[in-house]
Amino acid sequence: MRILLFHTNGHHVIQSCITKFPGGEIHVRLAPTPWVGVIKKIEIFARLNCSDDVMSLLLAVDAIRNMSEQPIPTHLTIPYFPYARQDRVCVRGEAFSAKVMAQLINGLNLESVIIWDPHSEVVSNLLNKVITIPQSDLFVHCPELINALQQNELILVAPDKGASLKTRTLHQQLQLTTPIIQASKNRDPVTGKIQSIKIDNDVSGKSLLIVDDICDGGSTFLNLAEKLKQAGSKRIFLFITHGIFSQGLAVFEGLIDRIYCTDSIKPQNAYPAANNLQVIGLYSIH
């Protein structure tokens, strides 16, 4: 977590000490600052990848407010919004997890909340004072893919109907002339396993770029890549905003030639070195 204090003489990073008690509770202590009383605003950049990260953020905001007797406008950037995929109740008895997470953030009463490429508009609608950075704005920092698309060396693939709108937005922004290849999938709502995949276009001999927001274990892309290979595609690339890669990168070998992702989940140097992965550093840009 990075905390920036903006004051009359500029800004600086305030150091935070985050520890855990033996019982499991998180403890946050901010370093003393000489700028209390002249702070204009505070900006927090936080990667929330686990429950401890969420609790650390909540405590840090409270610690910030305890530094000053006057309210300090506080802005938050969360590149990856936790529980974004759980944006509805699919089976009776489930929690509406995205809503619960949004309520925690809303309870902080922040001046603004910036998120990168949320899974759906549901998340944006649940958050107060939200600013959404769309995937198309993140994609512009990958010029080699843009050039390949505009030169018709790559063709965009929407991996499912949920990704169609974002893919069309990117297609229009880049003014591409080749049609989008649309895929669709059937998934078991209870187990989450993909039961079938359908491709609506001819992909024989073509090099393809699959674009989506999140890659966790990668089953969606692995199943799709296998289907595309069977249909005669030449090379397959993948651009995703949030690279979790819970099953590692080796699972993509032989199916996806190269993967591109942002540093929304962790810093560039925290990803394992791999020939098939390129991490785009956007931490300091957005």
Confidence of residue 162 (pLDDT cuts 50, 70, 90): confident
The pLDDT value recorded for residue 36 is 65
* Listed ranges 7-11, 118-122, 147-151; the one with the highest mean pLDDT: 147-151
Q: For the chain, what is the mean pLDDT?
A: 90
pLDDT in tens, 82-136: 999 999 998 889 999 999 999 999 999 999 999 999 998 999 999 999 999 999 9
> Could you tell me how many residues make up the chain?
286
Q: Higher confidence at residue 172 or residue 9?
A: 172
Model-level pTM?
0.90
Confidence of residue 285 (pLDDT cuts 50, 70, 90): low
Q: How far is it, in rounded angstroms, from Cα 159 to Cα 162?
A: 8
The pLDDT value recorded for residue 82 is 93
The pLDDT value recorded for residue 187 is 66
For β-strands 39-45 and 26-30, DSSP reports them as unpaired
